[in-house]
Chain A
């Protein structure tokens, strides 16, 4: 074929490759971006609120990727199909036209004289154009008078030499050397042009051995229309492929994301402490693998936690059992100690003055031991979570007065409280808290200790302030720690070391709080906050008595607190009639 044709095709191929490249690069970028975001997604996992957003964006990304792949595939496939078709259709049409034109040129224009007249040219052109191919013909020759004569067939609105592109004219009129490879000096050249949106085929050649130059133009509109409709259907097919790929991506995203979502939910449950959370493993894909890994991890975790809990439980059990066991000998010792004590107090008692200090020591240390065991039992009850509230309506001021009265602290404590402030709480536990706070204040701060009661919304605020040196800053965070002694120089005879810790636990079980601080005016301040009504915490109605309906039920209830959450400065013999003067100091330093 001819050279312009070849060069044209080459250019098309080149353009095709160019359009292919950027699409590939785009997909690459997309994948890179995805891995980046997946990395980031791990960070997001913690933020539950964003998880939905994350899922949707992953879904979006999947859809976009699928769509891009589909688009690339469809566009390149239909593009290739289009161009191949186009070439096939156009080539066939133009080959037929050109063959005809060549034929006509040989038969009719070749029959013309070397210098035909205008009329002859006109007629021959008309004859040439009357063939089956419906092209217009323009013949150019030199008439006998030496002028350039033109002969055109009708149609196509006056086909003139102006309509023939100059390069084509030049090519047609260029005489080539006749060689072995090139048998004739002139060739048939053609070119496709577009004029006002309509494609035309323009071709031209010269009759060899002198004669007119013939040009033809043929509208390629029918072919263009065919190709247009082909392009449309390919476009529609591409669109359908896009939609299909989006739907597919959606489905794929769902199959991937649903297990991921399930995994997320399970992980959250696990984090909330529901260690028996397991995933249903279905299939053999990576997600099933992940589920299996999750299950294994959860199982291992559950086992570990159970082991630790069991060990913890065992050691607590041991302390609880131990303190229980200590009680039996202690009961016997305590009873006998009292006999000894009475003997001591008797005028001219039968105790040898030499061993009197020994007896006193036994008595006081037995009491200490009693307190310690009592506190230990109380602590184990809190640790085991078996401590319960026995609620009653309490007048706070009365309770505080009774508490300090029973321990003979009336002279050492200034009470600033109005009567009539009522709260629903466990009077024994309140007593334990107060006795520990006030006892502690007396011990470390010295009298006077000031106790004030204020009401605040649905809270009762009790402040215990002493006039001592205050609590050192480094000790402040530890005052509620078990067995934490403020001063290493007096490790003993300062109580059990559990008092404030028990007070705090007792406040907590009411839903309250105790804070320790130093007053700007000097001295330590312990602030106790208790809710006005703690019945919400006991899990039963505010009134524990339901008009006899509990008659048979009480026995089964895990009800109520220890009979004596005494734990701490307990006025040991709370005997009503006998021991009136005996509100003891918690430390029992007398003896």
Chain B
């Protein structure tokens, strides 16, 4: 992680792009901007930013598609900027692999806080490792291996797995997870947790549709179980 995080802002509206660039730069970020999804993908390859702030409504390929394409190769954090706060947008965005979302008109401070929270997820903290069946979580190297194979996890997915693995067998509510992983306040959107759990399950579980590691606790939230 570079001391000054570099961001890529993909936004087609000139005014918003300029304003957000101004605001984020003042918050101390290095900001590169792109006006379309295609440009953004190109700049992603050239500049390797630490995080992407992505508008949903883009000319050409839309934000969801950009998000999906990025996820095919990269696990860097993505924050969606949605103007249409239709529910479906949020769900589709989270499905396509976004780590968090912000609804327009967004305040620079909120966006900055989200960016910092997402970036913190990749930071190391302890030096132990944990084993859950064929899953090995190495907290020192910040890697997860399954059957000896490295798993490609986004920082958010990794953080979620780490928070769950720190309390094995203990159920964590969605609100707790939102605070621990997303650093959201008491009104965090629990669908962020659900979507992330789904993505994580798809990567770590043998059969994602009948999970044995990350279990749902009805009426409470989620729990990481060591397999019997």
Contacts and interface: CB of A to CB of B under 8 A. Distances in A.
Interface stretch (A155-163, A217-225, A547-555): A547-555
B124 interface: no
Contacts of B179: 576
B184 to A, nearest CB: 6
A386 B15 CA distance: 30
B15 to A, nearest CB: 4
Given A427-B187, A573-B109, A573-B113, A392 B86 contact: no
A554 B19 contact: no
Interface residues of B, number: 63
A547 B183 contact: no
A331 B16 CA distance: 6
B107 A563 contact: no
Interface in B78-119: 82-88, 90-92, 94-95, 101, 103-110, 112-114, 116-117
A248 interface: no
A295 interface: no
Interface in A336-373: 336, 338-339, 342, 370, 373
Contacts of A402: 185-187
A336 B91 contact: no
A407 B83 CA distance: 25
A336 B86 CA distance: 25
A588 to B, nearest CB: 13
Interface string B189-217: 11100110110011001001111000110
B23 A338 contact: yes
Contacts of A377: 85
Contact of A335 (B16, B195, B205, B220): B16
A328 B56 CA distance: 12
A410 to B, nearest CB: 14
A548 B95 contact: no
A545 interface: yes
A409 B32 CA distance: 40
A529 B96 CA distance: 38
Interface in B35-86: 82-86
A564 B85 contact: yes
B202 to A, nearest CB: 7
A430 to B, nearest CB: 10
Interface string A467-499: 000000000000000000000000000000000
B211 A547 contact: yes
Given A327-B83, A392-B190, A576-B183, A334 B107 contact: yes
B16 A332 contact: yes
A576 B118 CA distance: 12
A335 B103 contact: no
A545 B190 CA distance: 11
Nearest to B24: A335
Given A370-B105, A574-B110, A335 B187 contact: no
B198 A327 contact: no
Nearest to A422: B219
A406 B183 CA distance: 15
Interface string A173-185: 0000000000000
Contacts of B23: 335-336, 338-339
Contact of A564 (B18, B103, B113, B117): B103
Interface in A111-135: none
B141 interface: no
Interface residues of A, number: 59
A220 to B, nearest CB: 103
A564 B110 CA distance: 13
B211 A579 contact: no
A543 interface: yes
A562 interface: yes
A316 interface: no
Given A390-B191, A578-B109, A562 B16 contact: no
Interface string B170-191: 0001110001000111110111
B50 to A, nearest CB: 18
B83 A562 contact: no
Contacts of B215: 547
Contact of A339 (B22, B86, B91, B209): B22
A338 B109 contact: yes
A183 B220 CA distance: 131
A400 to B, nearest CB: 11
B137 interface: no
Contacts of B95: 554-555
Interface in A534-551: 542-551
B20 interface: yes
Contacts of B87: 386, 388, 558-563
A572 interface: yes
Contacts of B198: 548, 550-551, 554
Contacts of B201: 548, 551
Given A427-B186, A548-B208, A563-B90, A338 B107 contact: yes
A559 B91 contact: yes
Contacts of A561: 87
A393 interface: yes
B123 interface: no
A327 B113 contact: no
B88 A558 contact: yes
Contact of B104 (A327, A336, A390, A431): A327
A573 B107 contact: yes
B150 interface: no
B186 A547 contact: no
A561 B103 CA distance: 13
A554 B97 CA distance: 13
5 contacts: A402-B185, A562-B85, A562-B86, A563-B85, A579-B113
Given A338-B107, A559-B87, 18 more contacts: A331-B83, A332-B19, A336-B19, A338-B108, A390-B190, A390-B191, A402-B186, A431-B186, A431-B187, A545-B194, A548-B198, A548-B205, A554-B194, A558-B88, A560-B87, A563-B90, A574-B184, A577-B117
Interface of A: 324, 327-336, 338-339, 342, 370, 373, 377, 386, 388, 390, 392-393, 398-399, 402-403, 406, 427-428, 431, 542-551, 554-555, 557-564, 571-579
Interface of B: 13, 15-16, 18-20, 22-23, 26, 82-88, 90-92, 94-95, 101, 103-110, 112-114, 116-117, 173-175, 179, 183-187, 189-191, 194-195, 197-198, 201-202, 205, 208-211, 215-216, 218-220
